[in-house]
A and B are shown apart, each in its own frame.
Chain A
């Protein structure tokens, strides 16, 4: 690892000047972590300062883990931390400047290990004067990937960025644009296929499917490494151009727990899905715990007497009978109409996850008609398939496919109302935008009378409630609670509330 000692990287800080450049840099770093939403307390701040005193600063990994161990107390925040860390403590210096005249002097220190591998000084002036043609670069890249030669991959990533990204100082475009341009030119999908072809040719016998799969995994992981290097290189150059503060700001993304369900990107939804499982496990544990420790039962006389024997007949340790735990039953009723489409997809995952944790969960989905979909989630291992079946097989459209809560509730009550018992907890998921249909709020009133609890989770911001055709207020009076539930943090708070 090249030693990017943090103090040296602070441009312009005169040596020996107080306060020390490292402290200043750390302060900016922690400020950025807070701005990114990480809850960094004062104690943790001080711990981090103390920790870096014990770590050899030239050991970049140790430095990174020292900061992580003291500042990040939740693994979901690791990515946010890593981004800020890379921006603040990445290799910095003149050689990353975007204008070519700055880079003309001296070879890059980072390329020392590979200088021999590249036909001419890799750190030479960007743009003109490169010894490699694009074809040669492709060929070398192929070789590097084929052998898994990490230093060479790193050097080639830098070359590729220099050549293909077309970075210009001060140009107000994000790193993803440069990343896209570089990767498009490298055509990695094609490279992967060529690598696979070569592997097939090299093998004496035809590859078995298993071997093929393992080869592909290996090459894919090497290509991933290359992509990461390209990304890092672009980031380094952008930091050199714009400074860490500005860079960190542009890279700032909401933490997983703050991502809005309604507007989550595909990638965000994937990570949200993974976060749901622990959450439902928590829910299950909490409900179970509550049942077990909820209240003490009557005195168990026999047991108390039996135990008093060891204290010479003094009933020093009273024993109680615990009530038999009742098994809760959950009814989930979810709106899956277009207006809440991405929430709905998330909802179905939530329903699936809940169903996996509780013995008795029945799920219903509706748009303007309503259907029970419990069977789709039973014994299904692939949630994608279950969601697909819900979307294609469930009978949820009654007239025109615009949500009609009133009608849906009415049908729900007529068909399944009598199965609601005092053990049942009903959870309704939806935005209560009723397209000006009749609300039929009396159904909820009846449900509330029969069920143990009725909760409503609304994916809209509370300030939008009861505006336009939203009538959540009308339903809300018959619920034990209406919760804004736009992100994991709020969902988690709801889970806490339940317990």
Chain B
């Protein structure tokens, strides 16, 4: 079988070409997912690039991205396949005056023509290279999770009327989760696990520089430093990478080349989304250090 990537380093460099800056962990797991033919379960705080990873891998591989957005109440007919029963009914109606037997019709209406493929089946049947993204898998109920198991371990789907559809290739599969619920052991066992955390300061600076080419090195550095400082506060919601980027863009638009307290506090609402967080961070940045820092939290 052909592998898609040479080495973890190759993963890293080709992801970089599509502007996704990974670290050793991310590159290593993507590499392994390819080698072992296993899906990757990606967890981590919101806005750290979990979904983007799948998109970027697809871009690197020149593959089609098939996305299944999970939500409460997602079921088989939305995720796997469904019989197009409107069409089936029409067919039966149309046959009513003809001489054909029931068996003929039955064979007919449970054929390919009447099958509506949904993302999972679509990914299995694809002959062109695909990357399957199962987004926010923690939103579906535990029972629905079982739907995924057959696909994730054997890359096949059983359809009672048609038999088993096997994959012609092993697609790369990414599942993302915000950890609102503990996923089942069975699902976790089938996946490689990847936790994407907030990037460290150096990497965040690089991300800013890559995504916003017009920015000066100095401003990017300051942005990354201030964001690191803010993430150390105990907040309701720490700024995500996308918020860092928004903030950097804003500063650039405002023509700021070096951030002072005043500019930081005036634009901080782009970085933080809760009034209480904004108040706290503004106070901190203005040098009032009476607010408590997170005690004993190791920097990563």
Contact = CB atoms under 8 A, between A and B. Distances in A.
A209 B288 CA distance: 8
A214 B259 CA distance: 12
Interface in B32-71: 32, 35-36, 38, 40-41, 43-44
A157 B41 CA distance: 37
Interface of A: 39, 41, 43-44, 47, 50-51, 54-56, 59, 61-62, 65-66, 68-70, 72-75, 78, 208-210, 212-214, 217-218, 220-221, 224, 266-267, 270, 278, 281-282, 285-286, 289, 292-293, 310-312, 314, 316, 381-382, 384, 492
A310 to B, nearest CB: 6
Contacts of A54: 31-32, 35-36
Given A43-B189, A267-B296, A312-B89, A214 B226 contact: yes
Given A41-B189, A50-B36, A66-B32, A217 B298 contact: no
A75 B19 CA distance: 26
- Identify whether the interface residues of A are mostly helix, strand, loop, or mixed: helix
A69 B287 contact: no
A209 B287 contact: yes
Contact of B261 (A55, A208, A384): A208
Interface in B7-28: 7-8, 24-25, 28
A218 B225 contact: yes
Contact of A311 (B40, B86, B225, B228): B86
A47 B193 CA distance: 12
B218 interface: no
Interface stretch (B97-105, B175-183, B208-216): B175-183
A282 B181 contact: yes
Contacts of B286: 209-210
B149 to A, nearest CB: 13
A55 B180 contact: no
Given A69-B28, A316-B85, A384 B292 contact: yes
B24 A69 contact: no
Given A68-B193, A209-B286, A312-B93, A224 B36 contact: no
A43 B36 CA distance: 13
A384 B286 CA distance: 22
A230 B89 CA distance: 74
Nearest to A492: B182
Contacts of A293: 72-73, 141
Contacts of B261: 208-210
Given A50-B36, A54-B35, A312-B89, A73 B28 contact: no
Closest 8 CB pairs of A and B: A209-B287, A65-B28, A381-B276, A73-B188, A61-B24, A54-B35, A69-B192, A75-B195
